[in-house]
Amino acid sequence: MSNKKYWQSVEELKGNAVLEGLKQKEFVEKLPTDVFLGDKETLEASSTTRRDFLKYVGFSTAVASLASCEGPIRKAIPYVVKPDVNTVGIADWYASTIANGFDYANVLVKTREGRPIQIMPNKEANGTTNARIQASVLSLYDEHLRLKEPTKEGKKITWSSADSEIIAKLKTLQAANKPVVLLTGTIISPSAKKIISQLITAYPNIQHISYDAVSESATADAMKAVYGKRGLPNYDFSKAKVIASIGADFLGDWQGGYAKSYTASRIPEEGKMSYHVQLESNMSLTGANADRRIGLKPSEQVSALISLYNEITGASIATKPTVAEKEIQALASALKKAGSKAVVVTGLNDVNAQRIALEINKALNSEVIDIKKLSYVRQGNDAQVAQLQADLKSGAISGLITYNVNPLYTLANATDFAEGIKKLDLSVALSVENDETANAMQYALPVSHFLESWGDAMPTEGNFGLTQPTIKPLFNTRQAEDTFLKWSGDTTNYYDFLKSFWNDEILEGTSWNKVLQDGFYTKASGSPMTVDLSETNSEESAVSISEAASALLNNKKGNAYELQLYTSTAIGDGKLANNPWLQELPDPITRVTWDNYLAVSMADAEKLGFSNPVQDNGAINGNYANVTVNGVTLKNVPVIVQPGQANGSVGLALGYGRKQGLKEAMQVGVNAYPVYFGGNNVQYNVSIEKVAGWHHFACPQVQSTVAGRTEIIREVSLHDLHHEDPQESWNAKFKPSYDHKEVAAEKVDLWDGFNREIGHHFNLSIDLSTCTGCGACVIACHAENNVPVVGKKEVRVGRDMHWLRIDRYYSSKVETREEAKKMGLSGGDYFDVLENPAENPTVVFQPMMCQHCNHAPCETVCPVAATSHGRQGQNQMAYNRCVGTRYCANNCPYRVRRFNWFNYAQNKEFDFNMNDDYGRMVLNPDVVVRSRGVMEKCSMCIQMTQATILKAKKEGRAVKTDEFQTACSSACTTGAMVFGDINNKEDKVTKLKEDKRAYHVLESVATQPNVVYQVKVNNTHKA
Amino acid sequence: MSHYEAPIREPLVIGEKSYHDITEDIARPIEGKANKNWYMAFYIALAAMLWGFGCIFYTVGIGIGVWGLNKNIGWAWDITNFVWWVGIGHAGTLISAVLLLFRQKWRMAINRSAEAMTIFAVFQAGLFPIIHMGRPWNGYWVLPIPNQFGSLWVNFNSPLLWDVFAISTYLSVSLVFWWTGLLPDFAMIRDRATKPFQKKIYSLLSFGWSGRAKDWQRFEEVSLVLAGLATPLVLSVHTIVSMDFATSINPGWHSTIFPPYFVAGAIFSGFAMVQTLLGIMRKVTHLEDYITRLHIEYMNMVIILTGGIVAVAYATEFFIAWYTGSPYENYTYMSVGAATGPYGWAFWSLILFNILIPQLLWIKKIRRSFIWSFIISIAINIGMWFERFDIIAIVLSKGHLPSTWWRFEPTFVDVGIFIGTIGFFFVLFLLYARTFPVIAQAEVKTIMKSSGEHYKKLREQGIHGENH
């Protein structure tokens, strides 16, 4: 190292003290902190002032926070490779079949962008849909209840390990020859039957038992006894002239329902309107539609049935007289007179009763009943199910496989069954839903929804339907058929199996593709479904009719109440209890939503102290009752006082009170299955006890009569229809006085209307005669128009959102003020009589939706012109323009406008289908989901009429006759609703509008509606 | 300037008052400190107002569903309150405009407060059409203003739109009229004010009033012109409000007698409210000498007249509903059906409060009694609220189709908003009573010599006033 010293200046070299001092300081001068810490003048002089700094900070903070506040972006991602079959914005329709063990129908499934969003009847296949079938599309998206993964003891498991474990278990059990039971709901699929028989071949220790939650076993047993073949007789009511139904709700769910063929016999114009007498205890849909309804409790129904048998066959079996002996005699003579055009059906699920009915029809030589081409829609066998329960209890069986049944909910003594399951070596549930049974079994295997499945069906002999998937399975599910194939060692998948099965056994050379497209096939002869229709259980045939009759009469002991169990229009057997559309569908008779209830007659209600007082918020309350049957007590059953309920009987709907897996809002009602002993819908010796408390009902309609406003509902007897001038008597048009002359209402006008003969002019005709009140249209409207579900609490306070409702009116003791005066009533007294229903009233259903008035009162009062008239007759609602004054709703005489009191979509307070991602998949993209604060109402499905017009335009043609449809008119099974263009002379609706039965509701208000009603015809003039 | 008045007539100003005494009396509440009672009343009103505002925010935040309305009853308390408040707002203009044209001197003691009441009541009324909307943030769509929505325009057929025009016109004309009258009085306060802030404020408020003869001449002219403009408004506002109902098709609403009947009812209720307010105010602000038995009696006479018109209208409605024989008229708010139905209590409340109780005013002693007038005025206020409630709720509860019959039950929000508007009204009125000259002192001074007790006595004693 050198010793050289480097220096910068002489001062440094010399060691100047000043310099030393400077070296120690970093800055030569004191820092000018006051410049930016407060000295104002210097501050303003500097280029970046404190103010600027704060401005920059403020700005950048604001920008940063604004950027983070950006609204959520929803990207619409186009297809990279567009599927051939799928055009965005264009709906595809697939023919399919629903057969879930309770409901059967040939249907068309509407899909949009690959999502099924609506189900409609396949009218070419004579398909019919009820409310449940319409609503079943929503259950596909039921993320809450559906079983999503195979599980073992509640833990997730793969399909392959589930399969191998179960197969190993089955093999062990087979080797030990321990019996295994396969318990399924009614299977009407011939291919599935074949697969099950293969499974049984592979494991002969498996026994297949069919079980219907709601049994029709007695009828099948009676058929076996009388005709030697197990199955249900098939009825063609369209051939009937006289129909006597003893408690058979054949417009409801009785043996699958016969609404379509019944209404075919009810067309008054062609002079062949049937005469229908209903003897029943509960007021059923069928009773409500009957020409004459007689309230008889079940024990009296038995007597009536035997009386009819005596009268018709000339036998003289001992019976007890009923309250309506004369009427029964008259009915018997009417039946005899009609001969082969008459039919007697009974809903008593009792072999003896069914046998007597079959014998009566035999004696009548009835053409209506078909005992050759049987119906297989209910195959459950009560005897076998009872045996299974006994075996399970005693431990006689070792394995149980359930498919499409939920015995732990639907069996009367489900706890015994649950105990039995615990003892089993193998228990497997194949189920769509994560229900009670799926939870109790070792293995729970998710089954695909029918909209995700292949399948076939043979509901009646020789009639076939095909099911095809309309969406890829949403969850890790597999069809039961595939599972059974795998277990039986067959490696083909179910689709291939189905196709070859159909080609081999059904199609007789017809193209598979064509049948798949049609969705149905009718075979001339032969049936592949011979597997287990001819079963055991035939000893009873030896019993004579008189013994059967006395056995029937002996069922009842004492004078206790009699309970008639039934399935409600909305919920049925309870399979779809987690479906909010159905829970909110009002019962057609009582108009109750979100509940089942004990129906008690007016006289009994007075005796027991029951009432349904109307509350200040408009809703009704009901008392609670404890109902005890055979020692089992149903606690706190809410009570509805039901006009027309037979004295001494009470009614209660099955299918409610389900809990497991259901959303809390859907866990409503009381489970009646615990008293459904032996699958018998009639339970004698019932005691009823009033208990404290009030139940809160949710009914969208509270007033049940027309209160003297007879103009609203018009009725005529069949005789008067043909023999009286409608203008003079039963359908007099309102004629205001104008220039001192009586003129038609539409001639009186303040201003000149525009010419409505140009372009299309839509009208909807509703026939009150053929509308059975089934409610399919209501659900169809929900699905088509994204109508929100609001829940029980909101329905209770009168805020249901139904665009289409079915008003139900009971008759009162007298119908007008004048008649009431004749009775000697005065003042407020006649209001009471007019406002309250008669003890056994007649019932009218009136579907009510926006009437699309040509002189719409709603249109003139809206301050912002949010509702206005379209050139095609529709009253249109511009949601975006609506500010929500509700003036239009107040000024609507039909009260069909519905206000969005809250946000119903994506609102936790309304946890229904619009509040989860799966549930929203069912929304129709053609119809906007309304926000809160706007008014909405029936649009006459303008999106559908526009689509029809555009389609015709694209295809370069005129719109075809009757091509226009609305959701309600296409869902209507009975043809009561007819939609069309009155500017097309060929359209059906054009003729209906001019029909002598046509009338407008509230004609005197002169709203000139585009919805026209047809006067209800009653065949009170006995045949 | 004042004309001669017969000595037999009761004086309108009591006591030995000089012009300066009047000034002192009127300025006292403004210049002095508020007493405990005022503060108590103010805080109660403020609390009610804040509660009401809370309910309004809740409604706007959650949805109209927090009210008790339903699919069949689209209006209830909201429009009831609206019509009630508009009706109350009717007396002010009648007193100041119509009575001015008819040269009724007794109006001078009460017109200021009556007009204040009108304006504050119209504020309350104006709230309801806005908050009753499902989407009040789009409420400006009811204004015919150029917009970015293409050719969208308001619907001139809709009575609700007429309401918008009628109410806003009424409010602006009333406000201008009121202010015009206030100018000399504000100037008086200004001239007396000692604190600079107050002086500044009252200078601004008095618009530079100087008290020159030209000022007074213009003042008189403008008052007359505005009175002429306001007089038709007295008739038009409630006529148009009644058309909300009368032009609709609901049985019970669709009635051609509604416009005159509603106008009479509005004056009826407006005078009742003036009675209520003045009954309190004359005590609290010690204005007994200015608001006398005679004033009370005159107002009661108007109440008897308008109440009679209303009673005849009820009778007509009841008769016609029965006489038509139409089953749709069976349940209108004036019908047997209503009297015996679930809203019978509301029906009978209306009859009791609006028809029966006011009949007591035929008795002179009651008519001239402060306390009885006060009680009866409260009854009429209640009765008139029930009238609107009955018209709206009973009629909507029994629509054309019996399947749509329903009932209405208010929620706490309905009640809260109503109470809130009452609170808001009193907050405004109490503030007004502390800051505004509550009696048109300039005008009262003009009748001192003709109608003041002191001068009357002097005249009787033969000592003539300076004009003689």
* Number of domains observed in the structure of chain A: 5
Contact A759, A114 (CB under 8 A): no
Does one domain contain both A360 and A421?
no
pLDDT band at A455, cuts 50/70/90? Answer: very high
Q: Is A900 on the interface with B (CB under 8 A)?
A: yes
Q: Quick one: A226 and A197 in the same domain?
A: no
Examine the pLDDT at A541 and tell me if it is beyond 50: no
Cβ contact B64–A899 (<8 Å): yes
The domain that contains B309 carries what CATH number? 1.20.1630.10
Q: Give the A window 701-740 contacts with B, CB below 8 Å.
A: 701-703, 705-710, 712
pTM of the model: 0.89
Residue A505 contacts by C-beta under 8 Å, 6 or more apart in sequence? A190, A528
User: Which of A611-625, A820-834, B29-43, B416-430 comes out lowest in average pLDDT?
Assistant: A820-834
pLDDT at A918: 92
Does residue A642 register a pLDDT over 50?
yes
Domain that holds residue B172: 19-134+154-452
Closest CA to A643 of A282, A231, A183: A282
Q: What is the ipTM of this complex?
A: 0.92
Residue B148 at interface with chain A, using a CB cutoff of 8 Å: no
Q: What is the pLDDT of residue A444?
A: 94
Taking residues A56-65, what's their average pLDDT?
Answer: 84
Q: Is B181 on the interface with A (CB under 8 A)?
A: no
Asked if residue B49 has pLDDT above 80, the reply is yes
**Minimal C-alpha gap between A795 and chain B (Å):** 9
Higher pLDDT, A425 or A75: A425
Range from A238-247, A486-495, A526-535, A636-645 carrying the lowest mean pLDDT: A526-535
Residue A98 maps to a domain: no
Cα B75 from chain centroid?
A: 22
Q: Find the CB nearest A901 among B64, B152, B396.
A: B64
Q: How far apart are CA A49 and CA A503, in angstroms?
A: 90
- pLDDT tens per residue, range A949-973: 999 999 999 999 999 999 999 999 8
Distance CA A632, CA A634 (A): 7
Task: Tell me the chain A residues in contact with residue B397 when contact means C-beta distances shorter than 8 Å.
Answer: 618
Contact A886 B132 (CB under 8 A): yes
Backbone angles phi, psi at A459, to 5 degrees: -70, -40
Predicted local confidence at residue B244, as pLDDT: 92
- What pLDDT is stored for residue A122 in this prediction? 92
Contact B293, B275 (CB under 8 A): no
**Could you tell me how many residues make up chain B?**
468
Query: Cβ contacts of residue B221 below 8 Å, gap of 6+?
Result: none
Co-location of A820 and A939 in the same domain = yes
Is B157 in Cβ contact with A712 (below 8 Å)?
no
Assigned domain for B98 exists: yes
Output helix, strand, coil percentages for chain A, rounded to the nearest 5: 35, 20, 45
Identify the residue among A620, A864, A898, A935 best suited for mutation to test binding to B, counting B beta carbons within 10 A and taking the highest.
A864
Question: Do A213 and A405 touch, CB atoms closer than 8 A?
Answer: yes
Residue B462 lies in a domain: no
If asked whether residues A42 and A187 sit together in one domain, one would say no
CA torsion, ordered B341, B343, B345, B350, to nearest 10 deg: -110
Q: Pull the structure tokens for residue B193.
A: 């004010």
Q: What is the pLDDT of residue A532?
A: 46
Q: pLDDT digit string (tens) for A502-517?
A: 998 888 888 999 999 9
The helix-helix angle for B77-88 and B111-131 (nearest 10°) equals 160
- Cβ of A889 under 8 Å from any chain B Cβ? yes
pLDDT in tens, A814-839: 887 778 778 777 766 788 888 889 98
Q: Output phi, psi for B254, to 5 deg.
A: -75, 80
The answer to whether position B264 is within a domain reads yes
Q: Which residues of A touch B133 (CB under 8 A)?
A: 883-885, 933
Distance CA A107, CA A118 (A): 10
Q: How many whole angstroms separate alpha carbon A317 and alpha carbon A311?
A: 10
Residues A640, A760 within the same domain:
no
Q: What is the CATH number of the domain that holds A661?
A: 2.40.40.20
Point out the residue among B68, B248, B405 whose CB comes nearest to the CB of A890.
Answer: B248
Average pLDDT score, chain A: 88
CATH number (domain holding residue A899) = 3.30.70.20
Q: Same domain for A369 and A461?
A: no
Determine whether the interchain pair B401/A895 forms a contact, defined as Cβ–Cβ distance below 8 Å: yes
For residue A641, tell me if it sits in a domain. yes
**Per-residue pLDDT tens over the stretch A748-791:** 877 777 788 889 999 999 999 999 999 999 999 999 999 999 99
Q: Name the least confident of A42-46, B347-351, B457-461.
A: A42-46
Contacting residues of A for B158, CB less than 8 Å apart: 860-863, 865, 887
- Kindly determine whether residue B408 and residue A899, on different chains, have CB atoms separated by under 8 Å: no
Measured between CB atoms, does A906 come within 8 Å of chain B?
A: no
Span A651-663, mean pLDDT? Answer: 92
Chain B contacts of A846, Cβ < 8 Å?
Answer: 403
Per-residue confidence band for A196, with pLDDT thresholds at 50, 70 and 90: very high
Asked if A882 is an interface residue toward chain B (Cβ–Cβ < 8 A), one would say: yes
Same domain, A443 and A565: no
Q: What are the angstrom distances between the C-alpha of A777 and each of A289, A527, A550, B60? A: 17, 35, 44, 35
- Find how far residue A297's CA is from the centre of its chain: 28
Instruction: Say if the Cβ atoms of A901 and B133 lie within 8 Å.
Output: no
- Write out pLDDT tens, residues A70-104: 566 677 777 888 877 778 888 899 999 999 889 99
Q: Are residues A340 and A446 in the same domain?
A: no
CB A700 within 8 A of CB A593: yes
CA atoms within 13 A on the CB side of A177: 0
What is the reported pLDDT for A930?
Answer: 93
Token pair for residue A455? 């399948």
Would you tell me how many other CB atoms lie within 10 Å of the CB of residue B458? 15
Is A104 within a domain?
no
Q: Sort out which chain B residues have CB atoms less than 8 A from A934's CB and list them.
A: 134-135
Mean pLDDT over B102-107 rounds to: 85
Number of domains in chain B: 1
Domain-located, residue B160: yes
| Beta-carbon contacts below 8 Å between A and B | 202
Q: Which is it for strands A155-156 and A1016-1018: parallel, antiparallel or unpaired? A: unpaired
Q: Does A814 touch chain B (CB under 8 A)?
A: no
Do A328 and A235 lie in one domain? The reply is yes
Which residue of B lies nearest to A831 if distances are taken between CA atoms?
A: B337
Distance CA A780, CA A969 (A): 9
Buried b (16+ CB within 10 A) or exposed e, A113-152: bebbbbbbbbeebebbbbbbbbbbbbbbbbebbbbebbbb
Chain A residues with beta carbon closer than 8 angstroms to that of B61 = none
Distance CA A968, CA A137 (A): 16
**Boundary of a domain, candidates A24, A50, A68:** A68
Mean pLDDT of chain B: 89
How does pLDDT run across B354-388, given as a tens digit for each residue? 999 999 999 999 999 999 999 999 999 999 999 99
CB contacts of B345 in chain A (<8 Å) are none
B457 located within any domain: no
Maximal C-alpha separation, chain A:
152
The answer to whether residue A410 sits within a structural domain is yes
pLDDT digits (tens, 9 = 90+) for A111-122: 998 899 999 999
Please give, rounded to a whole number of angstroms, the shortest distance from the CA of A796 to a CA of chain B. Answer: 10
Contacts of B139 in chain A (CB under 8 A): 883
Does residue A57 belong to any structural domain of this protein?
A: yes
Tokens read off for A725: 């001038």
Average pLDDT over residues A908-926: 91
Distance CA A360, CA A304 (A): 12
pLDDT score, position A72: 62
Q: Which residues of A touch B63 (CB under 8 A)?
A: 900-903, 932-933
Taking CA atoms, what residue in A is nearest to B128? A885
Residue A285 sits in a domain of what CATH number?
3.40.228.10
For residues A898-922, give the mean pLDDT. Answer: 92
Q: Which of A707, A816, A889 sits opposite B74 (nearest CB)?
A: A889
Distance CA A697, CA B194 (A): 69
Burial class of B280 by CB neighbour count within 10 A (0 to 12, 13 to 18, 19+): middle
Any domain includes A973: yes
| Alpha carbons A463 and A245: distance in angstroms, whole number | 26
CA–CA min distance B449, chain A (Å): 53
Long-range CB pairs of B201-207 (<8 Å, 24+ gap) are: B206/B182, B207/B183
Measure CB to CB from residue A1005 to each of B154, B249, B403 and give the nearest one: B249
Tell me if B468 is assigned to some domain: no
- Of residues A425 and A558, more confidence is placed in A425
Q: How confident is the model at residue B107 (pLDDT cuts 50, 70, 90)?
A: confident
| Domain interval for residue A574 | 557-696
Nearest Cα of chain B lies from the Cα of A794 at a distance, in angstroms, of 9
Task: Establish how many alpha carbons lie within 13 A of residue B411's alpha carbon, considering only the half-sphere containing its beta carbon.
Answer: 13
Nearest to B163 by CA among B231, B105, B238, B106: B238
Measured between alpha carbons, how far is A950 from A694 in angstroms, rounded to an integer?
54
Percent residues over pLDDT 70 in chain A: 94
> Average pLDDT for residues B403-425, to the nearest whole number?
95
Q: What is the DSSP string of A880-914?
A: GG-----HHHHT-TT---EE--S--SS-TTS-SGG
Domain boundary pick from A636, A664, A696 = A696
pLDDT confidence of residue A531: 41
- For the segment A27-45, the average pLDDT, to the nearest whole number, is 62
Structure tokens at B46: 């403020």
Q: Which residues of A touch B129 (CB under 8 A)?
A: 885
The per-residue pLDDT for range A852-888, each reduced to its tens digit, is 999 999 999 999 999 999 989 999 999 999 999 999 9
A 834-863 residues inside an 8 A Cβ radius of B: 846, 848, 857, 860-863
Which of B244, B250, B402 lies nearest to residue A705, judging by beta carbons? B402
Task: Return the pLDDT at B441.
Answer: 87
Which residues 102-141 of B are in CB contact (within 8 Å) with A?
Answer: 129, 132-136, 138-139, 141
Other C-beta atoms closer than 10 Å to the C-beta of B64 total 25
- Provide, as residue numbers in chain B, all residues whose Cβ is less than 8 Å from the Cβ of A1002: 400-401
Q: Using alpha carbons, select from A436, A456, A438, A439 the residue that is nearest to residue A447.
A: A438
Q: Is residue A911 part of a domain?
A: yes
Whether residue B53 is predicted with pLDDT greater than 90 in this model: the reply is yes
The enclosing H or E element of A464 equals strand A463-467
- In tens, the pLDDT along A328-343 reads 989 999 999 988 999 9
Question: Do the domain assignments include residue B143?
Answer: no
The verdict on residue A294 lying in a domain is yes
The answer, for A796 touching chain B at a CB cutoff of 8 Å, is no
Q: DSSP letters of A239-297?
A: G-SEEEEES--TTTTGGG--HHHHHHT--GGGT---EEEEEESS--HHHHH-SEEEE--
What distances in angstroms separate CA A853 from CA A437, A864, A946, one per listed residue?
Answer: 52, 19, 19
**Nearest residue to A293 via CA among A278, A283, A305:** A278
